[in-house]
Structure 1
Amino acid sequence: MMNDRIPLKDEDMLRRLRRMRVLVIHPDDTERSMFLAHIKRVGCQVEAIWPAPEALPTYIDVVLFLLNPDRNNRTPAWVTTCDTAARIAIIAFETPEILTELQRMNVHGVLSKPVRIFGILAALTTAVSLATHEARLKQRIKSLDDTLKARRRIEKAVGILSTSRNISEEEAYRRLREKAMTSKVTIASVADAIIASSDI
């Protein structure tokens, strides 16, 4: 007999969705009303606005926005720079201009007009998953970049110590590490202090 219970991982996904704060940027019409009603049924906190704001509220997790083909309407900066919200574009056409704009915006999902209820939940789930993965990748890249910069500063400090104290680079690094341990700070912080004092 089949088990009718929803698997635990699926329940977790639904719980995560219900915690999402969603902003719908769309003219006040029947489609927007459908959006709001359906997203509320899922359990999300949802609000709507039109026209598009110059800045997104900081608490928004997902934004669904109408991509207006009118070139006179400038695209808000947050569409391409926002790292905190999953972005789902709503399009009425698939012209080369629209497709180019979608690529430039690097959105996490697309819904086509006329919008149907079927597909909204899938678009939300996919967009949130992609945005989360993207954020993790960016954080890892930043962490690796910070590590590389710190290593370069440490190498510079080791060179300064080695030259000024007439010791080997191995001994200079050992002293750096000892100083960091006794001071309970990072080696990079000690390196920064040595570099700063040598520049005076």
Structure 2
Amino acid sequence: MEGTESTTRERSTAKDGNKAADQEVLSSKPLHRFVQREPRNVGIAILIFGCAEVMMGFTLFGERGAFTSFGIYTSFWQGTLFLVCGGLSIYTELRPSKKMVTVCLSMYVVSLLGIIVSLFYRIRLFSIYVLKLYRDEYLSLQRLDQIVAIEALLFTCSLFVAGLLIFLCVIARLALKSTRTQIIVRHIPAPPTDTTAT
């Protein structure tokens, strides 16, 4: 089946007269390139950023009167996208298949589009705060600075996750590019045996 390709390792032992040979056959299908880059580790990092985004969303939720990125629920949908991408990356390394890499690639692209939307929205927020266009008599200047710091932190995290997602998009695309199966055979000679009796 084309959709259930996976990387496999087989070990076989062959005996030829007095010599024993140990061969390891590594089936390197296109998905092996994706698994070699260890998307699980990158997925764990993206999961952590997704959890941080969602938790900071609850902080911004408490400031409903303030002008924050909570206006379009950015922290919740972007954090959810990060959590889904991280989970898919982990699952795909454990059970690689062409269909799962395709699903991962599509989710990476959707998440990148979401990051672009959130970055533009947060840049707009920063410009409003810097130009002092936003004033609220119920919000102290110290609290406003804290909200700006949270938004700046989430902005920086989004940039970092965008870099990770671009890396994952590239390796997923390269894994799906080639459909030829390649087999690498490694021959490891057996250690010499001492035939002299003592």
| TM-score past 0.5 threshold | no
Q: Please, what TM-score do these two structures have when normalized by structure 1?
A: 0.28
Higher relative contact order (CA 8 A, sep 6+): 2
Give the number of the structure whose residues are more often helix, by fraction.
2
